[in-house]
Structures are given as C-alpha cells and as structure tokens.
Amino acid sequence: MNTNKIITAGVIAAALVVGQVAGRLMQQPLGASLAPAAAATLNVPTAAELSSRFSEVSDAVDRAVVNINTETVVRHRFRLPRRGGEGGRQFQDPFDFFNRFFGGELPPSRSQKRESLGSGFVVDSKGYILTNHHVVNGADEIRVELASGEEFPAKVVGSDSYTDLAVIEIDAGKTLEAARLGNSEGMRRGDWVLAIGSPFGLERTVTAGIISATARRGRSHWQRFLQTDAAINRGNSGGPLVNLAGEVIGVATAILSASGDNSGIGFAVPSNTAIRVYNQLVKHGRVTRGALGISMQNEASSQALKALGAVDGKGVIVQQVRPQDGPADRAGLQPGDVIVGLKGRKIGEPADLYPLLSETAPGETVEVEYLRDGKKRTARLTVGDRSEVFAEEPVAQSGPGQGSDSRKLGLRVQGLSPQWKRHLGAGAEGVLVLQVEPGSVADDAGLRSGDVLLELNRTAVAGPARLAKLAGQLQPGTDVLFLVKRGQPATGEAVTLYLAATLP
C-alpha cells in the first residue's frame, strides 16, 4: 500500500513538471528559440562622440592648411568724359584713351594694387601646395602663411584653368606636414565632410556638412564636382574638403549663390581629379588631355540619334572630323557617325566623353565603338594631344550654338546665327559674347554677355577664328580697343560703343 502511494505521488509530481514546461512553451511565440544565440551589441554614436571625431579630424588636417595672399597690379588709363561740365560747357579730353588709336599720343596710366585671399593645403612635405587656378591666376606676388604663422613667398609650378586647379611651391627651409589625399570615388551622398580654410579672411575656420551630390557638372566640360552643404564662402577657395578618416577628398572651388555668400550649395573638385592634375603639373608644368580629332554635336535630340541608327536615342554625333590626318581621320571616322563606346565604356552623351579623354594619355591606342548606317563598327584610334590636335584652329570651327574661348581677352564667344545677322543688317560680321571672365581685359573694358563684338583694334572680327588670331598677336601691355553693338532694353534699340583697356 505504501508502495502504491509512492508511485502515485511520483506520477503526480511528474505531471506537474510536464504541465509547467508545456505552459512555458505555449507562452512563447511561434518560431522562438528556446536558447537564443548571443548577438553582438549595436552601439549608436552619441552626439558627443561625433563632435569629438570632428575635432580630431580638423586638428589632424589643420596643420597642412595654408592661407594664400595674392597681389595683382592692375593698370588703368585715365579716362575723362568727352562732353559735360557745368552749364553744358563742352571740352576735349587731352588724355582721351582713344587718341592712341586715331593718331594721338599715348595717355598716361595709373597702377592700382588688387589684393585677394584664398586657401590651399600642403600635399608634399618639400613645399608643394594645391589650390585653385583662380586664386593665383595673374597674380604678381603670392605669399603663403602656414599654420605656425610663418609666411613665405610662393611661385606657380603649374595651373590648369579647365579644372580650376593650380600647384604652387614655397621654400620653408624645413619639412612640412602634408595632408593625406583620399579616394573621392568612395564618397556617397550623405557622407560627412569638413571644409577648412579662411572664409572672409577668418583663418583656420572649420565647417561641417554632408556630400549632397557627386559628379555634378561644372561650367567646363572637364569639371565634375562633389556638391556639399558644408559652408563654403569667399576665401575658402583652394581649401580642403575632408572626410571623417582625415583624408582630403576634394578641393573647395565654387558656390552657387545669388549674394556671393554661402547658401548651402558648394562645390569641390574631387581628389582623384586633383591627383591626376597635380601629377602632370609638377612633372610637365601643364596638363595634357586626349583628343579624338572630332567636333561633336553637344545637343542632339533622341530623334536625331535614332535617325542615325542609335535605337536607344543615345550616343555622340560626330559633327566634323578635324583636322585632316588627325586621329579620327586616320581611324576612318566620318561626319554622321554616332560614337557609343570608348575604351570599353558606354557613351550616352558628350558629357561621358570628357572624363575618359582627361584620363587618356596622348599616344594611347583605344577602341572606339560607333554606328554608321545603323550598323555597329569598331575602330582603333591613337589618341592625340588636345593642344596639338587643335593648335592651328583653336576656334575655327565654332559656329552658331557652339561657344569658343578667347582666353587672352577673357571672352567666350560664338559665331552669329542667321537671325542675329538679319537683326544687325546686311553684311553684318562679328561674334556674340557669351561670357566675360571677371578681372579680364574684356571685363576691365566693360564688355558684357550679349554684346556683339564687331572689331578688335579697328580690325573686323569676321568670326571666332578671326578673333582668336587677332588676340593671339597681342602682347602684354598692349592697348586693346573693342567695337561692340549693345542692345538697350529700355528702347529696344542697339547702340555702337568703343570700349578699351590694357592687356596685363
């Protein structure tokens, strides 16, 4: 009897244990593990930690950042009004600038110093500094101030207007601390960056932001910018844009702003572009770029491309093969061909060609894929040096709709369209001014975009090629006389103006 009681108690106890275990299992959600595996703890950085990282990066890079002060001597002619004065009295100005061009004596001149401030950063401990072309362009004197407060004169090693980059050199008599350059291709939208420089002359200023966009197009075909909302202002130009690894991934270059001050949209030349340009400038003093030897149609509709055999409406139309016996001519390309590939990469528009050509060394043989009569073909082409391929005709092929540069004058122009010629009258010749470079001789003279340039130094300007030839003959210190036609918005009429300045 006792044995039966013991057995009965054991069964009851076992049932209770089983019931407890079953109850616990029923309380768990389906699929839950009885013994979950240990997981790594996720840590969210606090604001204080991020702030600390900003401080560490700025401290590490700051010693390589420099202030760049430039001084330019600008020479002006005295110019007095030909008519005027109290009571309507008229007089002839004895120092009339234009007497020079009509047989008179050369009037006296006055000089004025123009100072400007920019930034830069040491990239080689021997004293090589990377900055913007526009910071040092045309400067008569350049002085660099280090983080230590020491100041040294600098000389320009090389400069490239297409990418707005320049290399200058100082002799500090000691080894300098250089910034580390990173790979800009690794930057993505949303990545944190710091901008370091001297906005408005406020030395060693650090601002923070993110990468807003990559591969943003600039004014030059050769420019692709990193866009950032880190505050960039006047004086930041040439300073570094730095990632949180303490690497320079861009060179602050420009802002988009109606007022000229920061509006949350700044642009920096990617470090990968800066590295390529720097290496060529220190080795050759200039940048060489590849050329296919063609004029391309910069704006082509998908309908036109499809009509030429590009079923997807993409590609680059060869407008003209030039010069004769140039790279494209030797490779057999013809006007009307549609380039759809270069070096194994797809080409959908002209903007796709320029980065590839900037990376391609003259003399390199590449494969060009193109369409002709709807059929895909391949040609092997030996890339030429752009400065040599187009040396004899820098703007000769420019017509209506195609802008051309006359850098010595600071002008970007294009040939007159039939509509413009009809508006100006029978036999009209000249070029339409698209852009005037600030601080250039054309800017000093008072030219504006929208002007029609008729004559240069009393010689007719029949087109962009003629202007380039005339400008190429000008020497520093030459007096330059422009004859322009300018529309008057108030009256709708056009007036003819003589404008003049002296070539630096």
Model pLDDT for residues 431-485, shown as the tens digit of each residue: 988 888 888 889 888 999 888 999 998 899 988 888 988 988 888 888 888 988 8
DSSP 8-state class, residue 408: T
Smallest Cα–Cα separation from 500: which of 447, 450, 464?
Answer: 447
Counting every residue, how long is the chain?
Answer: 504
Mean pLDDT score across all residues of the chain: 79
Fill in the amino acid letter for 35: A
Number of Cβ within 10 Å of residue 152's Cβ equals 16
3-state SS class at 373:
coil
Q: Are 195 and 237 in contact (CB under 8 A)?
A: no
- What b/e readout covers 442-469, taking b as 16+ CB neighbours within 10 angstroms? bbbbebeeebbbbbbbeeebebbbbbbb
Q: What is the pLDDT, as a whole number, of residue 20? A: 58
Q: 182-186, 319-323, 330-334, 403-407: which range is least confident on average?
A: 403-407
pLDDT digits (tens, 9 = 90+) for 371-386: 998 899 999 999 998 8
The CATH number assigned to the domain with range 65-170 reads: 2.40.10.10
Q: What is the pLDDT, as a whole number, of residue 256? A: 75
Q: Are 477 and 502 in contact (CB under 8 A)?
A: yes
Q: Which residues contact 71 (CB under 8 A, 6 or more apart)?
A: 113, 114, 115, 139, 140, 141, 142, 143
C-alpha to C-alpha distance for 296 and 302, rounded to whole angstroms: 15
Mean pLDDT of the region 171-184: 92
Q: What is the pLDDT, as a whole number, of residue 329? A: 92
Percent of the chain residues topping a pLDDT of 70: 74
Residues of the chain with CATH 2.30.42.10: 290-389, 404-502
Quote the radius of gyration of the chain (alpha carbons, Å).
33
186-230-437-452 Cα dihedral, nearest 10 degrees? 90
State both tokens at 431: 């070029």
CA geometry: angle 319, 321, 322, nearest 5 deg: 125
Q: What is the pLDDT, as a whole number, of residue 503? A: 86
CATH class of 290-389: mainly beta
In the block, which residue shows the tokens 């404008």? 499
Q: 3-7, 67-71, 279-283, 394-398: which range is least confident on average?
A: 394-398
Smallest Cα–Cα separation from 97: which of 399, 469, 423, 480?
Answer: 480
Mean pLDDT of the region 145-151: 92
pLDDT digits (tens, 9 = 90+) for 223-233: 788 999 888 88
Residues of the chain with CATH 2.40.10.10: 65-170, 181-273
- The model's pTM: 0.60
Q: What is the pLDDT, as a whole number, of residue 302? A: 84
Alpha helical stretches, state H, 364-430: 386-389, 418-424
Q: Are 453 and 424 in contact (CB under 8 A)?
A: no
Fill in the amino acid letter for 195: A
State whether CATH 2.40.10.10 applies to domain 181-273: yes
Q: Are 496 and 484 in contact (CB under 8 A)?
A: yes
First-to-last alpha carbon distance for the chain, in angstroms, is 125
**Identity of the highest mean pLDDT range in 6-10, 36-40, 115-119, 425-429:** 115-119
Smallest Cα–Cα separation from 383: which of 316, 294, 287, 292?
Answer: 292
The CATH number assigned to the domain with range 404-502 reads: 2.30.42.10
Whether residue 210 is predicted with pLDDT greater than 90 in this model: the reply is: yes
Whether residue 388 is predicted with pLDDT greater than 70 in this model: the reply is: yes
3-state SS class at 319:
strand
203-209-213-218 Cα dihedral, nearest 10 degrees? -20
Catalytic sites, residue numbers: 134, 164, 237
pLDDT digits (tens, 9 = 90+) for 91-139: 333 333 333 333 334 444 455 566 778 899 999 999 999 999 989 988 8
